[in-house]
């Protein structure tokens, strides 16, 4: 074989190896969501690529057989074609034995470098740049190769399957998409500028509806405006003026005996028509939805959808009212600071290293604001006030403080045993959980 013929064969082998390299990396890197979208758009080979991803053993067997066969042939052809010429060149200065050795080494280095650069690195980078398009274009040629090499594919694939079974491993690809996967994609999109930071937060809040308890979005018991059923017209009008809300629970005797609710629109209609307001009128009092306080926000939304209501009273295991929640409360949790007036913000950033936070702020919002992953004993409370109570093991007083995760949580105001305001300050680099537990015990009280 002449030198030109040998070089031509080497180029063919490099091209074949590059083909198998691109086929391998494109199938492995192709995103199933994008392939499914291409299939829905009418790309004929996208479904075939999806099936190959589900059962990739034969595909990768062909790739490995092809790459190894090409590499062996490339070494044989390259050594036979280039070694004599390099040996003759080095023979001008070196002895014959040394020239033969040097010629072999240089030939090996040249052939190996050509295969590494043009048959491996370049095609694999190309395949990573646009894996779905390349996987679709190479699907048909790879199908022909699998048909042509069927006996070898069967032999090696069955051998690999036996090894997997012997080791108790699964060879099937797990393509289930979790909420963590979607959130990671959203974070990557935000970093790339595709999503705005607030849009990313809204999406994150939607996924948190399954983990947030209803108590994190409710209006607590002490802030609920309600009517007693036997209250006179004048008292009802005064309370509407003093505490304007869209919905009011109606109770018998006290707040723990809720019999229904009244819509402010119905009350306003009576006021505008100069009609007396009497909550003894059953046509004015509507049936109220009662939900337990251990439901998640997602479950509350399902309850709203099922009964076609947007207001619910929340009770605990002792049938005592702990608060009320509306559809708007849930949506406000999702939308965050995209809605609502600024003076209702529960978290106010004072400067780079300190925040003023309302005691009833849900823990998830506190974690987001402080860039923390978790707080200790997270299953025992829902709000920042609950965190302080659990850490202090008593009802907090003004100036009590807890240090955790590089932050100091200091109680600023307590009203009737309820924590109103907490000052959170950064105290330096985050410490280990053990160190935080030790520092949490150093409580400063008035």
Q: How is 267-288 classified by DSSP, letter by letter?
A: HHHHHHTT----TT-TTTSBPP
Q: How confident is the model at residue 446 (pLDDT cuts 50, 70, 90)?
A: very low
**Mapping DSSP to helix (H, G, I), strand (E, B) and coil, where does residue 171 land?**
coil
Q: How confident is the model at residue 428 (pLDDT cuts 50, 70, 90)?
A: low
Task: Look at residue 345 and tell me whether its pLDDT is greater than 90.
Answer: no
- How far is residue 153's CA from residue 59's CA, in Å, rounded to a whole number? 9
Helices (H), 149-245: 150-167, 179-192, 197-207, 233-242
Whole-number pLDDT of residue 360: 83
- Of 61 and 255, the structure prediction assigns the larger pLDDT to 255
- Sign of the alpha-carbon torsion through 67, 68, 71, 76: negative
- Of 276 and 175, the structure prediction assigns the larger pLDDT to 276
Whole-number pLDDT of residue 227: 92
- Of 183 and 354, the structure prediction assigns the larger pLDDT to 354
- How far is residue 418's CA from residue 421's CA, in Å, rounded to a whole number? 9
Whole-number pLDDT of residue 96: 73
Task: Look at residue 176 and tell me whether its pLDDT is greater than 70.
Answer: no
Whole-number pLDDT of residue 291: 93
Q: How confident is the model at residue 2 (pLDDT cuts 50, 70, 90)?
A: low
* Residue found under tokens 């106010």: 348
- Tokens found for residue 247: 């919905």
Task: Look at residue 312 and tell me whether its pLDDT is greater than 90.
Answer: yes
Whole-number pLDDT of residue 86: 65
- Sign of the alpha-carbon torsion through 66, 69, 73, 75: positive
For 32, residues 6+ apart whose C-beta sits below 8 A from its C-beta are: 50, 53, 175
- Of 277 and 175, the structure prediction assigns the larger pLDDT to 277
From the list 238, 236, 263, 239, the residue with the least C-alpha distance to 249 is 263
Whole-number pLDDT of residue 330: 86
- How far is residue 363's CA from residue 390's CA, in Å, rounded to a whole number? 13
Element spanning 112, H or E: helix 96-116
Element spanning 357, H or E: strand 354-358
Average pLDDT over residues 123-128: 82
Task: Look at residue 434 and tell me whether its pLDDT is greater than 60.
Answer: no
Q: 102 near 94, Cβ under 8 Å?
A: yes
- How far is residue 308's CA from residue 196's CA, in Å, rounded to a whole number? 33
- Percent share of the chain, pLDDT over 90: 12
Question: What is the biggest distance separating any 2 CA atoms in the chain, rounded to whole angstroms?
Answer: 120
The mean predicted confidence, pLDDT, of the chain is 80
Task: Look at residue 15 and tell me whether its pLDDT is greater than 90.
Answer: no
- DSSP state, residue 93: T
Chain-centre distance for alpha carbon 435:
29
How many CA atoms are closer than 13 Å to the CA of 316, on its beta-carbon side?
Answer: 9
- How far is residue 417's CA from residue 414's CA, in Å, rounded to a whole number? 6
Query: What pTM, to 2 d.p., does this model score?
Result: 0.54
Q: pLDDT for 324-343, tens place per residue?
A: 999 888 888 777 655 444 44
- How far is residue 128's CA from residue 203's CA, in Å, rounded to a whole number? 28
Average pLDDT over residues 115-123: 80
Whole-number pLDDT of residue 80: 62
Whole-number pLDDT of residue 19: 85
For 53, residues 6+ apart whose C-beta sits below 8 A from its C-beta are: 27, 30, 32, 35, 173, 175
Q: How confident is the model at residue 156 (pLDDT cuts 50, 70, 90)?
A: confident
Whole-number pLDDT of residue 88: 66
- DSSP state, residue 343: G
Task: Look at residue 445 and tell me whether its pLDDT is greater than 60.
Answer: no
From the list 110, 91, 108, 107, the residue with the least C-alpha distance to 99 is 91
Q: How confident is the model at residue 129 (pLDDT cuts 50, 70, 90)?
A: confident
Q: pLDDT for 236-281, tens place per residue?
A: 888 888 888 889 999 998 999 999 999 988 888 888 888 888 888 8
Q: pLDDT for 369-422, tens place per residue?
A: 888 888 888 888 888 888 999 998 888 888 889 998 889 999 998 887 788 889
Show the domains of the chain with their CATH numbers.
Answer: 3-167 (no CATH), 179-209 (no CATH), 214-336 (3.10.580.10), 341-440 (3.30.465.10)
Q: 52 near 29, Cβ under 8 Å?
A: no
Q: How confident is the model at residue 175 (pLDDT cuts 50, 70, 90)?
A: low
Q: pLDDT for 177-222, tens place per residue?
A: 676 777 777 777 777 777 777 777 777 778 778 888 888 888 888 8
Task: Look at residue 431 and tell me whether its pLDDT is greater than 70.
Answer: no
- How far is residue 33's CA from residue 41's CA, in Å, rounded to a whole number? 12
Average pLDDT over residues 161-181: 72
Whole-number pLDDT of residue 320: 92
Average pLDDT over residues 131-150: 82
Print the SS3 string covering 15-45: HHHHHHHHHHHHHHHCCHHHHHHHHHCCCCC
Whole-number pLDDT of residue 159: 79
Average pLDDT over residues 418-430: 80
Average pLDDT over residues 296-313: 91
């Amino acid at each position: 074989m002449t030198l030109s013929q040998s070089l031509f064969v080497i180029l063919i082998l490099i091209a074949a190896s590059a083909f198998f390299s691109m086929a391998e990396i494109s199938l492995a890197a192709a995103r199933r969501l994008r392939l499914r979208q291409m299939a829905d758009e009418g790309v004929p080979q996208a479904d075939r690529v999806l099936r190959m991803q589900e059962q990739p053993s034969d595909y990768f067997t062909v790739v490995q057989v092809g790459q190894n066969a090409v590499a062996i042939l490339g070494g044989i052809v390259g050594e036979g074609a280039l070694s004599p010429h390099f040996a003759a060149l080095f023979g001008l200065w070196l002895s014959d034995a040394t020239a033969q050795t040097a010629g072999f080494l240089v030939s090996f280095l040249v052939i190996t470098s050509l295969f590494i650069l043009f048959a491996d690195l370049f095609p694999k980078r190309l395949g990573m740049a646009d894996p779905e398009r390349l996987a679709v274009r190479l699907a048909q040629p790879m199908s022909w190769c699998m048909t042509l090499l069927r006996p070898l594919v069967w032999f090696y694939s069955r051998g690999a399957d036996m090894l997997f079974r012997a080791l108790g491993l699964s060879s099937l690809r797990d393509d289930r998409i979790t909420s963590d996967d979607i959130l990671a994609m959203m974070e990557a999109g935000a970093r790339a500028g595709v999503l705005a930071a607030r849009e990313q937060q809204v999406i994150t809040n939607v996924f948190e509806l399954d983990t947030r308890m209803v108590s994190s979005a409710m209006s607590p018991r002490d802030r609920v405006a309600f009517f007693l059923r036997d209250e006179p017209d004048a008292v009802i009008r005064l309370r509407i003026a003093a505490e304007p809300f869209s919905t009011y629970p109606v109770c018998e005797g006290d707040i723990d005996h809720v019999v229904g609710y009244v819509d402010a629109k119905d009350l306003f209609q009576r006021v505008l028509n100069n009609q007396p307001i009497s909550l003894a009128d059953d046509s004015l009092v509507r049936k109220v939805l009662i939900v337990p306080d251990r439901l998640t926000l997602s479950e509350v939304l399902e309850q709203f959808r099922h009964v076609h209501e947007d207001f619910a009273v929340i009770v605990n295991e002792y049938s005592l009212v702990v608060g009320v929640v509306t559809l708007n409360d849930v949506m406000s949790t999702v939308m965050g600071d995209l809605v609502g007036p600024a003076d209702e913000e529960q978290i106010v950033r004072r400067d780079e290293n300190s925040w003023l936070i309302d005691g009833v702020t849900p823990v998830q919002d506190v974690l987001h604001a402080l860039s923390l992953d978790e707080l200790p004993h997270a299953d025992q409370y829902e709000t920042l006030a609950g965190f302080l109570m659990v850490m202090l093991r008593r009802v907090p007083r003004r100036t009590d403080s807890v240090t955790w995760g590089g932050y100091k949580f200091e109680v600023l105001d307590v009203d009737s045993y309820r924590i109103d305001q907490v000052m959170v300050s950064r105290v330096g680099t985050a410490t280990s959980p053990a160190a935080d537990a030790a520092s949490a015990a150093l409580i400063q009280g008035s």
